[in-house]
Structure 1
Amino acid sequence: MTRPHVAPGAVFALCVGLYLAAAAALTWVATAQPWLGLRLGVVGQSVVVTDIAQGSAVSRDMIGKALLGLSADNQPTIPVTPLDLIEEPDGIGDQETQRRFFDRQDRLHDALRSGAVTLTFDQADGPESVAVRVQESRPVSDLPMKFWTQIFVAFVGMFIGTWVVCLRPHEQAGWWFLLSGIGLALASSSAAIYSSRELALSLKAYSVACRVNSGGSLLFGIGMVTLFLSYPRRIVPKPVLWLPTLLIGACILLVLGPGWPDNLNNAPDFIAIIMVALLLVIAAQVAANRRDPAARAMLGWLGVSVAVGAGGFVLTSILPTLMGLAPVIEQSTAFLFFLIIYAGIALAVTRYRLFDLANWSYGILFYGLGVALLLGLDAALIYGLSLGRAPAFGIALAAICTVYLPLRDKVWVLLKRKREIPAEELYRRVTQIAHARDPEDKQRLLRKFWSDIFNPLRIKDQPASTTITALQDDGRILTLASIGNLPALSLELAGQGSRLFSSRDLARADAILSLLDASLSQHETYLQAVSAERLRINRDMHDNIGVLLLSALHTGPRERKDLLIRQTLADLRELISNPDQTDWDLRDLLADLRAEIITHFEAAHITVTWQADEITKGRISHRLAHALRAFLREGTSNILRHSGATEAKVRIALESDGLQLTLSDNGSGFDSSVASLGNGFRNLRNRFTQLQGAFSYSTGAKGTTLTAFLPLFSTQKEAAAE
């Protein structure tokens, strides 16, 4: 029989609903207390009315007056002292004072429950008694921010713990994490009840709330210490994992036992000891996982979060209490430090972006150091030089902004510079790879390049289909996409296995690959341009220069031979030094070509007929001019060398979209299979194809005919037809 499966999402939603219901119940408990509508604060040794809420029965004239005591009808006055406003009862030093505190709180609460009380205020002319009616419940809007802060911390602790368990229900570490979340929720929510009271709670309410608070705090310690004994690696035998439960459980029984509240003030001592033990366990985990980068990254999250969170709570709330001093910040605010712990542990347990810890840790370290310096300097100015709080804080803040922050930026730039290759060296290496001719040299340079940048433990080839650069296996592997003719690679563990790859490494690799791809493309474009230029020179040498030299060779008169050689040299200079010459006048070009071609044929004693449509004006580009010249010269060269013809005919017709060119002879023809292998006809076909024209030839026993079509742009066609 199979067990029914419950979706983790449904479990999570149910738990969140229960937490919200618990938060609503706590809010009801907080509002079910008698209410005067007074905001009370401590000034010196007096309890002073700092504000009066709207709807209160007390006159606003009493704002700023000291509240001396409170009494119910026909009952003795109960004095109100600064101790009655203490936020955390377990911070009271001795048991006798603690019992008097709870007794007076219970009496004050009973008096308020009576419905009508007499408040005694200190006036200039003596005490003044004011009779007021106490409301049975407290408005929700009157609950202070500290109440909602602690409820929020409790909810978030349970929320994150449940989320982790739902993500990884079969991992024991997740359940220990949830147990610590339950402890935090119990401690924070119970503290929200008594720390946000207006004046007093009953002894019964204190008994329950303080027990839950102390028990929750110690339960948090059980979950945390056991979690780090087993995660990310179990560092003790399994039976020892239950040792924190036994030891801290005994502390819970001692604090919450029948003698309560006699041992209540021991709770801060136990919490401080647990925090020290927690730090020692984390240190042991770091030592046990020193060769595992992923585990070190997880412990980095944990170490940073626990150091900041637990350390902040102990330094600002627990340690001052142990030293007999007032807490640096209210306990309700100090609970927010636990959210830092939970965020870090949740990231570690779920293994979220472990590879980014190295990037974020510097920021956390610098900002944490800045806050510590700010608080330390502020305290030194207040207690050392007896400055007021506002001037001391202003001076400390100015010092941090003008000295520490610029120094921090310089240190960060220095650290970053030491880890990265300079931009000019990076560009040189990329260019060297792109320009390498031999494929083996290119791959060798590429591997050396990535090795110098990230110093990985291993570099492996990847399939050519790898087209995405990405982090894999929690940052253990950085996969580099293939670009151009370069292979895809995978880099394992940066810094010779000392660290994971980070998202910053990924972004840097992407940027370098983009630069390398652009350099490869530019070099390929350069090589193609060089090849195209060589092909152009080769084609023009064959089609133009070769024809002129051949004509000079067959010319008898010396003057004519010299003229052809000079023309050849002029064309050669133009071919090499001025490949992008200006446009040609079509009519002048045809006239020059007619004279040149007829001269070549007449020198070889071949009768030539030149037929060309009337062209009045118009200009064509140098590419069209070269194609026209190459067609006539290559055709003439073939007739002179191979045909044995006695007659040749040239026909140039102006059509609607270009020039139709025909060159024919009455020779013996040639073998077309041989001609197709030569450069001449192949060059002509390529020329005309590139110009979106056409070239063809036919040959037989009665002669050869070359045909070509040279397209003209619309403006050129209109000008030529005018």
Structure 2
Amino acid sequence: MLSPKLTINALLAIAVALTLLFFSIINSTPYSGFMLQYQDETGVMVVSNVDDWARAAGLNIGDQVISMGVAGGPYMEVEPRHIMTSPGDNGLYYPNERDRRPTRFEEFGKLHTILSAPEIEVNTAAGDRIRLAMNHARPLQSISSLVWVEYIFALAAFLMTAFVWAWKPKNRECQFLLLCGISYFLIVMPAAVSVYDIDMFYPHLGVYWWLRTSADIGHSLVAIAGVCVVLYYPTKLKNAEPISWLLLAGLPVYVLVLYMDKWVDGKPFSEQFLYFEPYQADLPLALLFCGVIVASGFQWFSNQRKPVERAQTLWVILAFTTGPGIAYGFYVAPKLVGEVPGMPGIVANLMMLSVFAMLTLGIMRSNLFQMEQYIGVAYQWAFASVIFFSLDSILVSTSGLSAGESSFILLALVLWVYLPLRQWFHNSFVTAQQDKRQQLVNESLVLIAEESLTKSESADQVWKTALQMVFSPIKLDRLHHGEENGVSDRGQSLAVAANKYSHGLKLSFAEKGARLFNSKDTELVITLNLLFEKLYDLQDAYLAGLTQERNRIRRDLHDQIGHKLLSLVYSANDEKSRTLAKETMAQLNELIQALKQESVDLSDLSLQLKMLGEESCRHSSLSFQWYDKLPEGLEIKLSPNQYLNILNIQRELLSNAIKHSHAHTIRSSVDIDSSVLIISLSDDGVGFNHNNIKPGNGLFNIQTRIEELQAKIEWLTSEGTKVVFRVPIQRTRNSDEC
């Protein structure tokens, strides 16, 4: 395998060789030294241009040429059918479609024989017989610029596809794209050196047959290669290999069948003129459309969750339908039905060249465009262009309107029909998508704001959840090195820079693979990142101030109220006052503990609940039974708020049972089920119906604390009273348990 550098040099050498071949075909064809033009008003052939050496021989501009030939040899009358200027002249001068090409072949062969002689004679209407020595080369300036432009198109298609193949020579799509470029060269190069564009151009019959045959086979080959490209690009389809080989094997069979249909029995091979009918040469373009659409459909369904491949499929469909569609509709189709084409051949070739430019960009995965963003716009332009070009052709050809009148009608249709419909489509679909996305952004902002206040989840998790809400990525991975915000992997990924509360993240495939990331997503991420940091900064500042104020209150309670309660304990005259002071001081310690904002172990809460029950029942001469059902080795931290609220609820329930139940025994337990802490308290007293009791401050405080804990409470009064409240908590396990 050649290195890329050697491969490119070899391709350039081939391009130079093809260019030399192009020049040799032109220079090897005899040159008459004058040009003829048919005048409709007089019905004669008139000299329209003449070189100096032909003028010196006696031929002048305006001379009417009747015939030309070789002294002592064949002569031939010069007729308009020998000087055709467009493909439309074929139907005018050769009405028999079956014999059109053989007749032209015979006529051009006679002219080539005459012009190949060392000297020819030109007979004019004035009776002059002018002798011209045929030893002069055709000056390049006499060749129309369209010839060079068409050849540049052919060479550009070959070079573009060749460089793609040199980039990845083992890729099947690159190989078939190169075959497309070669096929296009085989079509356009003969068209460039045709009798329509070069005056008095009559090549050798072998050269003429070779040019026509290469163009005819090129039409079939470009269609087959184009379908094969889509079989392998952007991903290889199932059975792509046998289908591509079947299509390639079908080409020689197709050519052989058509050629055998033109075979004339009894004629020697050297005199056989084997050719395609125009419709037989152009028929493969229909295969190109159908094959590309079918293969692209399979590509679409196989790449639903691969946004880059799906976008490339759309790009391929656009490439194969837009340019060829316009060329086929306005140039090839009119030729097939004998009408004058609606566009020049050079424009049709330019439309076909656009296929290779677009496929080159797609296969090389150029970053010059974000396909996902612009394909829809490109389809709109292509669709609208085809529709209005078609309407213009129909109006001019069928209604007898002038070109100006047709343009005025189309302008009115654009202003009063197309643009309003396009705006309605935009408002109905595009705006709806934008509104949906804006709603997701708003919901993510609400989430960030709420979580920054409640802090029920970590800041890192909140940031991930917000990004998932906005972009719905298929994957969300951590970045292990610092990166700026930006799109990467041709739109497949979006890098989100780290902030003070979360590490960097990489989002893959936006909206579950429905689209690619773009620059607007980068701007949105930057904005969300700033808002996220600001909200959490504000919350941190608020919590810092809150903590500072709590510490001040805690110090004041400890230093002032605590000191006075301690003095009361030691100075009380009776045991009852001393006990009350101790209980009050214990509750004050609980409050001070809560104000520290330090988490409390669940085991400590269990111990406090037990001590609270035992102490309360001991003073009331009640029996207290405690059941700790927590599993061993469990490590659960409670927030100070949870710890204080649970103790106060238990204290209020104990107080109600002691005061109103007339019970002898109080039972209490603590248990855990998944992430729910279950605390129960029951007595064997008289019981009461909770729903028939007007709640006082005690029951009201219980309900308020239950709501603050986001807990649930049940009151059961079958035998005595039983109260169960369930508190949701975050559960973790220690290393011994795992």
The bucket for the TM-score relative to the shorter chain is 0.5 to 0.7
Counterpart-to-counterpart distance in 1, 2:38 and 2:359: 37
SS at 1:325 equivalent: coil
SS at match of 1:248: helix
Residues 537 and 46 of structure 1, relative CA distance in 2, 3 Å threshold = farther
1:485, distance to aligned residue in structure 2 (A): 2.1
Please say if residues 69 and 77 of structure 1, whose CA atoms lie closer than 8 Å, have aligned partners that are also in contact: yes
Counterpart of 2:617 in structure 1 is none
Q: 2:505 aligns with which of 489, 500, 506?
A: 489
Alpha-carbon shift at residue 299 of structure 1 (Å) = 2.0
Distance, in Å, in 1 between the alignment partners of 2:549 and 2:255 is 95
1:374-413 equivalence runs, <5 A: 374-393=388-407, 395-397=409-411, 399-400=413-414, 404-405=418-419, 407-408=421-422, 411-412=425-426
Residue aligning to 1:710: none
CA shift at 1:8, angstroms?
Answer: 0.5
1:225-284 CA distance string (max 9 Å, x none):
333344422332744432112211122334567543454446325424532552354245
The equivalent of 1:291 in structure 2 is 304
Structure 1: runs of 5 or more not aligned: 122-126, 539-722
Counting only pairs closer than 5 Å after superposition, residues 276-425 of structure 1 correspond to structure 2 as 276-279=289-292, 281-283=294-296, 285-286=298-299, 289-293=302-306, 294-352=308-366, 356-393=370-407, 395-397=409-411, 399-400=413-414, 404-405=418-419, 407-408=421-422, 411-412=425-426, 414-421=428-435
Contact 2:471 2:510 in 1 (8 A): yes
One-letter code aligned to 1:308: T
| Local SS of the residue matching 2:136 | coil
Q: How well do the aligned residues superpose, as a CA RMSD in angstroms?
A: 4.4
Shift of 1:80: 2.2
The worse-fitting range, judged by mean Cα deviation, of 229-238 and 136-145 is 229-238
**Matches of 2:470 and 2:64, distance apart in 1:** 71
Q: Distance between the aligned counterparts of 1:89 and 1:282, measured in 2?
A: 38
Q: Does 1:249 align with 2:252?
A: yes
Contact 1:39 / 1:51 at 8 angstroms: preserved in 2? Answer: yes
Does the 8 Å contact 2:164/2:360 carry over to 1? yes
In the alignment, which residue of structure 2 is the partner of 1:516? 528
The equivalences for 1:620-639 within 5 A come to none
CA contact (8 A) 1:147 1:332 kept: no
Does the aligned pair in 1 maintain the 2:445–2:466 contact within 8 Å? no
Count of residue pairs the alignment pairs up: 525
Among residues 209, 224, 227, which one is paired with 2:229 in the alignment?
Answer: 227
| Residue of 464, 468, 485 corresponding to 1:469 | 485
Q: Is the 8 A contact 2:305 2:512 kept in 1?
A: no
Which residue of structure 2 lines up, in the alignment, with residue 96 of structure 1? 99
The 1-side partners of 2:414 and 2:129 are apart by 50
Once residues 47 and 302 of structure 1 are traced to their aligned partners in structure 2, the CA distance between those partners, rounded to angstroms, is 51
For structure 2, list consecutive stretches of 5 or more residues without a partner in the other structure.
Answer: 261-268, 551-738
Q: Structure 2 vs 1, CA of residues 253 and 386 (structure 1 numbering), >3 Å: closer, same or farther?
A: same
How far apart are 1:507 and its partner, in Å? 0.8
1:106–1:200: 8 Å Cα contact kept in structure 2? no
Query: Is residue 177–residue 224 contact of structure 1 (8 Å, CA) maintained in 2?
Result: yes
CA distance in 2, matches of 1:354, 1:313: 26
Partner Cα distance (2:414, 2:131) in 1 = 51
Q: Which amino acid letter does the alignment assign opposite residue 122 of structure 2?
A: T
1:72 equivalenced with 2:69 (yes/no): yes
1:407 and 1:252, CA in 2 relative to 1: closer, same or farther beyond 3 A? same
Deviations 1:136-159 (A, max 9, x none): 333223322331232122212211
Task: For residue 306 of structure 1, report the CA deviation from its aligned partner.
Answer: 0.8
Contact 1:433/1:442, CA 8 A, preserved across alignment:
no
> C-alpha distance in 2, partners of 1:152/1:334?
14
In structure 2, how many angstroms separate the alpha carbons of the residues matched to 1:262 and 1:424? 63
SS of structure 2 residue aligned to 1:71: strand
Structure 1 residues 227 and 211: CA distance shift in structure 2, 3 A: same
C-alpha displacement of 1:161: 1.9
1:374 alignment partner, SS class: helix
Q: Distance in 1 between matches of 2:21 and 2:122?
A: 31
Q: Give the whole-Å Cα distance in 1 for the aligned partners of 2:250 and 2:33.
A: 44
Identity across matched positions, percent: 16
The match for 2:467 is 450
Cα 1:272–1:128 shift into 2, 3 Å: farther
Q: Deviations over 1:394-453 (max 9, x none)?
A: 553564367535653563465332222479757755754664243836555544543444
Answer whether contact 1:31 1:138 (CA < 8 A) is retained.
Answer: yes
> Whole-Å Cα distance in 1 between the matches of residues 534 and 135 of structure 2?
83
| In 1, Cα distance between equivalents of 2:176 and 2:151 | 22
The verdict on how the C-alpha distance between 1:446 and 1:211 changes in structure 2, with shifts beyond 3 A counting, is same
